[in-house]
Chains A and B, each alone.
Chain A
């Protein structure tokens, strides 16, 4: 079995300010993408994931407000990297569920024809696709952005502890792409996170998981609790969505141990959906099958 690769790009110094430092974040993307793809320049690296004519959706996570959401600097740096390497800005879209949450997380909306777009599913011309999609235990309407607008998707989610799922990261981020995420929190969100990711609407378009671990909520997430958040200063990149989240879990595990907190297993909420996802063939949750490349910048 071929191993999956996960790249952790970590800032050596100044972690507390990095979330709002676009130049530093850009450098992290450059290092991470080239290492992940074994390409020499960022354009070639990005072409591993995206075609020239792709409409690229960057699905971010803004439920946590300013304190624990994907920051504009983090997502816009990636969007600009795409544009600088030849993608048409009109075809790059940063999005989440609602305009309100985007604004509360510090974003300026752009719904114009021109330029990098930033808007939510609840924008006037969007909403949910009318076709109810049923897949295993999932029955949902999908955001028109995910279903109809974009052709390639990046999951750019904040790495957080989650009171039910254990860990919320790249895969669970797609809960924000459906109309009824509240229906999928039973049984530690298992098998729902894996099955949602397995729907063709997500799986066929997902190209790369990038976990925003610049600041990690390692306890009492997904809500913001500053006393249990760490400026970890890292981005985690992988083509394997399960491997990316598995490595994210290891970081939360490490931080919890460092702070003297019980493990997620001890709290009866390990992210069981990762093993489910592996069984479904979505990626690997076995650390032995994951090559981790750590880069310090």
Chain B
């Protein structure tokens, strides 16, 4: 299906559709009429006297007076009622391979209709998508793309998965939640790509309607979260534990940034924590950093640093440790922990060969954890 046909069939007029990052960058500098923003009441907030409210969606607990917006920039108190301004307002839509998220043990080779609204509840200095995540919804082009239309589009586009991604989907929680329900009605799965900066109650509710969650664990120290993320580490760790306890498919990505979060000691502590709290079978991806946004004074991560991190994690007992953003690296492949053969051979986002059948290694019958169909 070509772009024009896609836009026509999905009702996404005016939206650029792409199959890669080049396709989704919107024009940040064209203002949208604020009257075109949504006014759907938010689900997680408390009302206080004198038209003040407290958002309880994420660990920031923003307390806001009338006409004020939360840290995310996409939720606003209007006369004592808290609204999401981005319900059904997609600023990015693309069809990506699921490997791009990355999710390596979840329906490999599948296409994921991927969407985002503007906004984020942290402010990472190394953000790769800051043009949409660190802006207000009126500062990016967006289109009306209602939950049912998203599900319909995924079906029409032969995408068995919808991915909520690119910015921080927690900030468009209501939109994501309702779209997930519509998707499930059509047999489409839902995956969430998040920083995990969310409170337990909304997370538990979300888990009820989605099928996999990839968490970006940005570091394993609060200092890093304070200085480079502007967020809290502990709520992210708590979120990972909740996802694991609820047995929702989980993968963890750790962006390795030279000198900031790449020490052997930190990687070891992280690995030990993962092993203890989540177990050895959660896929752990060490991704390569590239200078971006407000962190341009550091070089890209040396591949040797990523390999060292991988070795540390494997030595601690994590079974599936990958290296990301290094196309062609051998650590893109899935190796059977028992017979050490390649179970899934990848190059970039492409599956070259798969030797996983019925969730087992075809060489030795060892079960490979994941969601395979």
Contact = CB atoms under 8 A, between A and B. Distances in A.
A249 interface: no
Nearest to B62: A185
B26 to A, nearest CB: 13
A186 B62 CA distance: 10
Interface string B144-178: 00000000000000000000000000000000000
A200 interface: no
Nearest to A185: B71
Given A128-B139, A179-B135, A183-B123, A122 B65 contact: no
Prevailing SS type, chain B contact patch: loop
B70 A223 contact: no
Contacts of A132: 293-294
A139 B293 contact: yes
B362 to A, nearest CB: 49
Contact of B29 (A63, A65, A127, A221): A127
A180 B135 contact: yes
A220 interface: yes
Contacts of A186: 71, 230
Contact of B68 (A180, A183, A222): A222
A179 B136 contact: yes
B100 interface: no
B363 to A, nearest CB: 50
A130 interface: yes
A182 B51 contact: no
A51 interface: no
Interface string B240-278: 000000000000000000000000000000000000000
Q: Which of A64, A122, A223 has the most CB of B within 10 A?
A: A223
A75 B294 CA distance: 36
Given A139-B294, A220-B50, 5 more contacts: A64-B67, A100-B34, A130-B29, A163-B65, A182-B71
B35 to A, nearest CB: 8
A141 B73 CA distance: 15
Contacts of A182: 69-73, 136
Contact residues of A: prevailing secondary structure: loop
B135 A223 contact: no
By size class, the interface of chain B is 20 to 34
Name the interface size band of chain A.
Answer: 20 to 34
Contacts of A141: 28
Nearest to A130: B29
Contacts of B52: 220, 223
Contact of A98 (B29, B34, B71, B73): B34
A64 B67 CA distance: 8
A263 interface: no
B30 interface: yes
A134 B294 contact: yes
Contacts of B31: 122, 124, 127
Given A100-B34, A179-B136, A65 B67 contact: yes
B307 interface: no
A183 B171 CA distance: 14
A225 interface: yes
9 closest cross-chain pairs (CB), A and B: A223-B65, A223-B66, A139-B294, A122-B31, A182-B73, A127-B29, A183-B123, A134-B294, A182-B71
A201 interface: no
